[in-house]
Amino acid sequence: MIPFNKPPYTGNEDQYVLRAMRSSKMSGDGEFTALCHKWFEKSLGCVKALLTPSCTQALEMAAILIDIQPGDEVIMPSYTFVSTANAFVLRGAKIVFVDIRPDTMNIDETLIEQAITPRTKAIVPVHYAGVACEMDTIMDIAERNSLFVIEDAAQGMMSTYKGRQLGSIGHMAAFSFHETKNFTSGGEGGLLIINDERFVTRAEIIREKGTNRSLFFRGMIDKYTWVDVGSSYLPGELQAAYLYGQLEKAEYINSARLSVWGKYHEHFKSLEEGGVVDLPIIPDGCVANAHMFYIKLKDINVRSAVLNELREAGIGAVFHYIPLHSAPAGKKLGVFVGQDKYTTIESERLIRLPLWLGMSDDEINLVKNTVTSAIMSCDA
């Protein structure tokens, strides 16, 4: 039995969580949150890092910060997690989906411009599998059309695009520390990255329930009060402590995942050369973080048959996403602009293989061999 995921754990987390538990401050923005913020601000070179309880909430904050109004349009791929869309839908936005590129499963940057209207406010590129979107083109389009770019970098921690960290390129970015991601803050967690100084002050206010409490704590004002809309967008110290234990081991976690990914890639290359599967492509200039290893089979029928065999063999392989534009809520709240040439057909043939920190060679080999024989018997 090989599970699809095991939450990353390095052994470093325990001591920090205990320290947070026994400290006199367990609510947000304590010692460990500050350590995490510093770590991200240094490693990403961003103006501001703010831990949030989830990536979903970091995206919600971004939607408030760019002042999304009812009727505004936000361009994104349909092949993504629901939160990419929901965060903007909650502010009344209409979601405009465009097709993906079949090589990376990322938004096709050449189709964005034709989807822009006078109501367009933002582009939300999703770095699928931790592989960068074509950010130079996207930032250029945004600049020429006065749009904001919010990177959904939920899967992108420690990946780079032309030498720049994902999450450091758009006006803002959101990361996830859910237990299925490369780093976790104890099951659920997220991060808002701000690269544009204009958003910093208001971000701190929105995150603190619409109050200027952050300024108060820094001694910059003598009382705090309600100054804007807001919500509770800061996680407790236990989350931050758990995460900090992993950040200290970031290089180790990243290289361990890359090693598993490399072993899968090496093995499945021969099937790709035989035309049986398609493998992930990492474009020139991009370095990825081995967030996931996926293969693409011939079609949805082969995929169903292969997944059935893997389930019976105890291999936790899964598929995702149902394209948002074909989901019940997506039909109501969004519109697909242009032709769906790849989104549906490519999403229907993709499966994700187990990939987690600490996978042994025996476990990797079992997955490789079981998947290969399942494909051979189903794709005959």
Ligand X SMILES: *Cc1c(COP(=O)(O)O)cnc(C)c1O
In whole angstroms, the minimum distance from the beta carbon of 54 to ligand X comes to: 3
In whole angstroms, the minimum distance from the beta carbon of 56 to ligand X comes to: 3
Comparing CB distances to ligand X, the nearer of 152 and 204 is 152
Q: Which stretch binds ligand X (CB under 6 A): 130-138, 147-155, 217-225, 322-330?
A: 147-155
**154 lines the binding site for ligand X (CB under 6 A):** yes
- And the tokens for 219? 């001694």
Provide the 3-class DSSP secondary structure of residue 143.
Answer: helix
In whole angstroms, the minimum distance from the beta carbon of 59 to ligand X comes to: 7
- And the tokens for 143? 């600049």
Of these, 10, 33, 78, 83, which contacts ligand X (CB under 6 A)?
A: 83
**56 lines the binding site for ligand X (CB under 6 A):** yes
Q: Which of residues 177-206 bind ligand X (CB under 6 A)?
A: 178, 190
**54 lines the binding site for ligand X (CB under 6 A):** yes
User: For the chain, how long is the longest CA-to-CA vector?
Assistant: 74
Q: Which residues of 286-304 are buried (b: 16+ CB within 10 A; e: fewer)?
A: bbbbbbbbbbbbbeeebbe
Of these, 106, 120, 155, 246, which contacts ligand X (CB under 6 A)?
A: 155
In whole angstroms, the minimum distance from the beta carbon of 83 to ligand X comes to: 4
- And the tokens for 361? 């060679």
**324 lines the binding site for ligand X (CB under 6 A):** no
HSE-CB at 135 with a 13 A cutoff on CA atoms is: 26
Dihedral Cα 21, 25, 30, 31, nearest 10 deg: -60
DSSP symbols for 282-326: --TTEE-----EEEE-SSHHHHHHHHHHHHHTTB--B--PPPGGG
**176 lines the binding site for ligand X (CB under 6 A):** yes
β-partners of residue 343 are none
Number of amino acids touching ligand X (CB under 6 A): 14
**80 lines the binding site for ligand X (CB under 6 A):** yes
In whole angstroms, the minimum distance from the beta carbon of 135 to ligand X comes to: 16
**254 lines the binding site for ligand X (CB under 6 A):** no
Of these, 10, 33, 84, 254, which contacts ligand X (CB under 6 A)?
A: 84
Do the beta carbons of residue 216 and residue 223 sit within 8 Å? yes
In whole angstroms, the minimum distance from the beta carbon of 106 to ligand X comes to: 11
Q: Which stretch binds ligand X (CB under 6 A): 51-59, 95-103, 105-113, 298-306?
A: 51-59
**343 lines the binding site for ligand X (CB under 6 A):** no
Comparing CB distances to ligand X, the nearer of 178 and 249 is 178
Comparing CB distances to ligand X, the nearer of 80 and 347 is 80
Q: Which stretch binds ligand X (CB under 6 A): 37-45, 62-70, 80-88, 89-97?
A: 80-88
Residue where the block lists tokens 């492509």: 281
Give, in degrees to the nearest 5, the angle at Cα 172 between 165 and 68: 155
What sign has the CA pseudo-torsion 40, 42, 45, 49? positive
β-partners of residue 293 are 353
Comparing CB distances to ligand X, the nearer of 81 and 264 is 81
- And the tokens for 320? 């995702």
Residue where the block lists tokens 């997220």: 190
Provide the 3-class DSSP secondary structure of residue 192.
Answer: strand
Comparing CB distances to ligand X, the nearer of 186 and 190 is 190
Would you call 158 exposed, middle or buried from its count of C-beta atoms within 10 A (0-12, 13-18, 19+)? buried
**99 lines the binding site for ligand X (CB under 6 A):** no
Q: Which stretch binds ligand X (CB under 6 A): 79-87, 135-143, 196-204, 275-283?
A: 79-87
In whole angstroms, the minimum distance from the beta carbon of 154 to ligand X comes to: 3
Give the C-alpha separation, 274 to 296, whole Å. Answer: 13
Name the residues that contact ligand X, by CB under 6 A: 54-56, 80-81, 83-84, 126, 152, 154-155, 176, 178, 190
